[in-house]
Chains A and B, each alone.
Chain A
């Protein structure tokens, strides 16, 4: 038995994507001693690192900011909050400018000498973040997934326990505060870079009593070539979609017509061709995101002239907006010592029930990371050295400490949860009857997993349990929202119900609950109603 690695820090950040990286950086800048742990490697881990993303970077001009905020409110079902949007726009503007200077990110230089700062390439962005964190004195543990939160006897979060998988060594970090930046959950769908996003942090948070918001907005699917993982739905704005016989699939589109594609995929193959792209656009695509072309170049397909088969890959709450409920402006969770950032947190505050692209998500990651990291540092400082002498209580349950005899493997559980979450006819084209049946299956699976699943490796068991829990929160919320709003579309309730313009909280592990959460009045719609 290898000895446990025992460490202490002021702030422990779980997750090495953009949100975790910014949280660690800002906690360190606030004077905290910071450890960041990641399941994979800070630099390649998560949905951003292997892709490219726009950033919701808007000049601080009233008119531009106003337009930026207003542009998404219809799509998102009027569940966003302008005060949060304004804060995120301010924080994102500051962070991106800091990334360009202190972070030394090489943005494109325009003809007038200015830099174009409205997007980042994932690999370059996260490589720079890693270097920056090291300069700031953050200790990074790669390949060290968290397995559970540790609390003090009063229930405040006081650290984490995990596993260094390349060394097969358990570790424990005592900390004054913990930031969860573990990403959303894409149910191991192979959507680009998302296989590390299995919703682990959500399970940890639930085990210490945190709640969720927006979990019904969890049915994001991205377009990818059928044989591939490379999701870049926005580029398919330039596509025409076809049936196998070569006829055009009417109504199909990358934005509004994606459900048409899902429906067609239930009965046959769908093909795409980027035939709306002219020479200039083609060249810009290659520069904008070189990885988009890897599948095509390597399979000798010309996406502009050849029809190629496509599929839709589940992105769950990575691209959906549900996550741990944010209790306050500092991204606290309502559980003492626990903060949340990025896709692990709900993004409804700025995105409502819909995200069309990475732009808002990346802005949210760096903004919420900044607030969570800063607040975690402040919390740890207020606790003082006594924080590191607290008695620690392990909180991990399902997938880690089964209540009965170990049966089967986590692979069985993963297959079972995928069978309820991946299919378009269950999760995308939602209907109450189908959701209820899937939820009943998932409830049984949860009971089984809690009782019997452990390993063979501790990380796999935990991931499987996290996915089952995630799916149950998703479908419980989806059943409770008896209307269509944002990305959540119900075949049995196709219209938006004005009386249901509220957010939906969901929580619990064995017994789940939901509760309406009012949106603070703030939008032009409210003003119109009021006048």
Chain B
């Protein structure tokens, strides 16, 4: 029956071109460094990609609903600061903060709450999400700085477990990322709420006229984004072992790049979770490979910038193709 079911999360041309680029980039790096095509390195890439990927899954939901969340990195920061505030004990002698398992529920609840606040602010202020989340970006970062006194806080204890644990030799964050991506995909393409989210992104006006509860749906999207930000923050902190003021700084750019590169339209209504995953991997692979081949540090940004431009033009080109495909309408009346 569903032979003609064409989900908007379908594997589209964008994804195939990503697969091609990823393959090309990998072959290139592999030929320049014999350590690139190596199981250990694959583990590294996956682990390094996990925070970006998780953040990008949340961001995909937001962008699919024609929103944007610039505050995702600030949420990573503030959620972890709040977790330390609630479940950390400063040990002066060791210059480190001891934590309890409570950091996890606190960070996750904070992420959800801060994301929800983004949605509420957007709904109440009736401003564009770009403006509101730019505001909350500053607010959340400011609060984070305030709580941590802008200090670098070395952390110990359970907070490190998530970022460092392994399962069959693979970092647990990798499993978390895959799980989140699958959950995001199922949500968007299989659940009524997910379809409604895409509807809101496709046409906010129609959504209102159709009686969709746009504001509630936005809460779902932004809360998800906040949740993903907090989880990404937990991974970053778990791996590096510090909560620093720069935690999550610039994460929004990497994550939005991954989402758009993955084929999710910035104009909403079209999302590709698979593309998001691939693009996160591609961005991480580029950084990884550049280090492996000992590239000039100034080349990193150039390569990333070129990729972003390709992503944006591909998005525009596909929008252009769609508009050309629009039907020819006979329009005579007698």
Instruction: Report whether chain A binds chain B.
Output: no
Q: Which residues of A pack against B, CB within 8 Å? A: none
| B interface, CB within 8 angstroms of A | none
